[in-house]
Structure 1
Amino acid sequence: MCELKACGGMGFKNLKQFNLALLTKQGWGLQTDQNSLINKVLKAKYFPSYDFVEAKIGCNPSYTWRSIMAVQHVVKEVSELIDSSSTSWKASVIDILFLSHEAKMIKSIPLSSSAYSLAVSLSHTIDRGASLDVGLVRRFWKKIWSLPVPHKTRHFVWRACREALPTKTNLAQRKVVLDDTCEACGLMAESTGHVLWGCVKAQEAWSCSKLMVIIDWVDEEKVARMVTIAWALWFNRNEIRLGGARKTGKDVVRWATHYLEEYWAANESELSAPVVLERSVSWIPPRTNWFKIHVDGGVFASQKAAGLGVIIRDDRG
């Protein structure tokens, strides 16, 4: 949820990392700013003979000191990556310690930027472990979030790709339901892949759509139709669970197609329709023996010409 949309997340800020980033900023100040008041107070009590990165938590520490010590390892790691004399990254060290795309990500962060950006980058390198084709992942999610479909459909696709739909398989893993069998076919467990692709009811819809499941991502319209049909299958599945009628595969495709075309038409009309501002304007005459002058002009690029109009009126118009 807290990863960037381009990396498969929803773009929410991670409050825990944000809090740690603020503490890291305080810890970095203890390490580099020897003249600050907080540095003098904490150093006198907890690390009088050495630097912050070598300090111990000590006996009966205050809540403030325990909180700052929670990010000591981060300050130590960062201090090893920064050349304090030139205030720049130690590029050679970063290239050795991290994978190429991770090193590029860290070195692209300005040292004047927020600590939160650095905390996110370091946490991603620790959490992911294995090397990923970051460029391919970013292109995939960028394509998903830019599809010409309603936002709720894009959100559905994100949930499906992240295995976050409340299918019976997921609900059974969380002890919400006991039986994870698909109610449509009664043959297999209702997973995301089954309910959207493998179930006989889903297969009926896909055969009516005449769309291949694996299609060229360059054809944006076909991708939009495919994800909308998948959303329609899920929508009808939820309708059935709430007592609604089951649509045939042909009806699902027809409804999804009509829904998507209505969305396209509505967005096209909004973009093409000129904005007309209605306002009531009435001419107010000038004072007696005064004149009022109205001036307007226009440029006609296609004709390579310009025009100017002037109206002069007295108090009688």
Structure 2
Amino acid sequence: MPNMLHIDATIFELIDKAIGAWKDALIKQIFLPTEAQTILSIPRSHRCTHDCMVWAYTVKGNFMVNSAYKVAITSSPNATMEGVSTNDMTGRFWQTFWSLGIPTKLKTFAWRASHNILPTKVNLCRCGVIDNATCEACGLAEETSGHLFWDCTKAHEVWMATGISFDATAHLARPLFKEQVDTRWIPPSHPWYKANIDTALFPDHHTIGIGVIIRDHEGSVITALSKHLPLPLGPMEAEAKVVDEAVSFAWDVRVRKVIFETNSKVVSNALCGTITPRVTIVDIIEGALHRLQAFRRT
């Protein structure tokens, strides 16, 4: 297959300058499948920025000897879990998990459950869909993810029926559920709008799904967006990308006084400037912030 780039071509030649996205077809034509997937997994913002050298294994992108040591240790065939950070182990866990030979819908369900983004009654109340979060099965507590799978009396009966040893006070899965303090959707003040956003991963198909819904101060739906993007992103990169897409969507539909609400605390804090975004999402965060400045001028 002939190479479609000249000998002095740079990475910039692989980017669509009009929208700041990768040239998907060109990349897949030139590179091997594994190489193309690696390139496409690097998230891009709508704003084209200058290239720079970064070290992907630290938050700020600066090279550090200890991070290089960890990379060398984890890449070794004889690597053990000793001395590996919690983040490294979490990443390794999900990498192994997504490679399991089980139906994609089961893996997606487990991932959504562990991130507390299943349509439990608490989450539905938070989004303003229903107004009662009490568990239908037991009627004793609110239906959170943790309650649904572990604390509900009916859940206990299911665990007992399986014959699997179950300890309601010390099971390993419980820390994965991140319950939110405010469980109800709070409408914005007039004349503001609120955009709620979410994303789903489809690693088997190397795509992500994004969803955006914009409502007014009365809770009425003004507009919504749902689409797939051919990007094999990780969870955090996907959360950042959906924010970038939501900002562009709000701009395109001429909704200016809008509050963006995401369930990713890392992305939210990065946008608010309270933390330094990881190098893998800094380009997206900066692009979204640049677009948001235009909202303030209109």
TM-score norm. by structure 2 comes to 0.32
Whichever structure has more helix as a proportion of its residues is 1
Whichever structure has more strand as a proportion of its residues is 2
Bigger relative contact order (CA 8 A; separation at least 6): 2
Structure number with greater Rg is 1
TM-score norm. by structure 1 comes to 0.30
